Copies of this chain bind each other. A is one copy, B any other.
Amino acid sequence: MISAQQALYIVLSRSERLGVERLPIEKALGRMLAEKIRSDMDTPPFDRSAMDGFAMNSNDRSAAYKVVDDIPAGKMPKRQIGQGECARIMTGAPLPPGADKVVKVEDTQLISRHLIRIKHFDNKPNVSWRGEDVRKGEIVLKAGIKIRAQEVAILATFGKRKVKVFRYPRVGVISTGSELVEPGKKPGPGKIRNSNSFMLLAQLKRLGIDGIYLGIVRDNFRETVKNINKAIKVSDILLLTGGVSVGDYDFVKEAIKKAGIKLHFNKIAVQPGKPTSFGTKGRKMVFGLPGNPVSSLFIFDLLVRPAIDRMVGRKAKQHLGKSILAADFERRHTDREQYVPVIQSDSRVRPIKFHGSAHMQALTKANGLMRIKRGIKRLLKGATVDVRPI
């Protein structure tokens, strides 16, 4: 049985960037930029007042200054500023010719309607000089970076209404199992409601992806093969949940093969999540996730999320942080890497009561999964542990 690390390596070695699409900048938040962006103009585009005040020449120390112009933001100055003259100017407005300084309004005094005096003459120009932030033609954003709010502002500033980003995968979600009914229905005898699909759609949504829900498929071999074939046509990644254990009724592994998908593994030495399979058909990926909801949630984070990260141009990470164990921990079997639900606060973690991989209720009380590596039997209070926030 391969380890979690080997499984991740196999998955990532098959994960490639999906290619590029152009999006309006208001839809590009969180995406990875797929082109470099150059400035199409100097920034500021002109010498610009950084204050509301009066524009004048810094060498002109007159007793009073005649206000010869009035320059709001967005207007070009009408005339030259000479000796003993100034122009009323607003923040963001272009400096008039002849001026190289703005005295802020608080440092001036109005003597008459068109005459001012300076109360306090300092050395600050209070001008943002043309091109001081960015020169025309300069690269303002490098390809490969993540688009945050400030990058959206830069794109707008330099006139990019649409921008090239790495495409998100289309992710199909199928639940398999004759015991499943949809959440809107009351389960009959022996049935339970389908919760995994909605959970996986929520996990995808957290990554910015609107998954494609493809419904429940009964435990019928022909129907399962048919549905996998159909689903793989509309998906870059297909998530199957349920039906990936060892029994007679677990068609999914065979159905995956029958659908022409190359199976790379069908078991991982990890707890929960052992019955996990992974296959590819060309560049398309199929994950057979365990039917137990806790396992399914966890394997998504362990394998599917890093694959998606890489496909969209992000760094594929395990998103594990360090924490301190707040109580001793011991386990019976040590042959698998294990993830245990914990409550983390102030960098200390405490495992919570957990009945096993069907016990989703425990995960609503947890905010992390603590990793215990293969071979480790006992961890003492105070040990440093790896925790993935959930």
Contact = CB atoms under 8 A, between A and B. Distances in A.
B199 A152 contact: yes
B248 A26 contact: no
Copies of the polypeptide in the assembly? 2
B90 A249 contact: yes
Interface in A307-350: none
Interface residues of A, number: 93
B45 A150 contact: no
A15 interface: no
Interface in A227-252: 245-250
Given A140-B364, A355-B133, A72 B178 contact: yes
B161 A94 contact: no
A287 to B, nearest CB: 16
A151 interface: yes
B246 A189 contact: no
A14 interface: no
A159 B390 CA distance: 23
A358 interface: yes
Nearest to A294: B150
Interface string A292-305: 01000100000000
Contacts of A277: none
Interface in A242-299: 245-250, 291, 293, 297
Interface stretch (A112-120, A202-210, A374-382): A202-210
A221 interface: no
A44 interface: yes
A58 interface: no
A106 B267 CA distance: 15
Contacts of A140: 361, 364
Contact of A76 (B45, B46, B48, B190): B190
Contacts of A152: 195, 198-199, 201-202
Interface string A90-109: 11111000000000011000
Interface stretch (A1-9, A79-87, A164-172, A179-187): A179-187
A367 to B, nearest CB: 9
A29 interface: yes
A156 B247 contact: no
A64 interface: no
A213 B44 CA distance: 25
Contacts of A134: 361
B150 A199 contact: yes
A44 B358 contact: yes
Contact of A177 (B73, B88, B359): B73
A214 interface: no
Nearest to A183: B156
B193 A157 contact: yes
Given A91-B247, A155-B198, 11 more contacts: A26-B198, A73-B178, A74-B179, A74-B219, A90-B249, A92-B291, A149-B206, A150-B360, A150-B366, A151-B364, A157-B293
9 contacts: A46-B190, A73-B190, A73-B249, A88-B248, A94-B190, A105-B246, A133-B358, A149-B390, A153-B363
Q: Which 6 A-B pairs have the closest CB atoms?
A: A52-B247, A74-B179, A74-B178, A156-B195, A153-B199, A73-B179
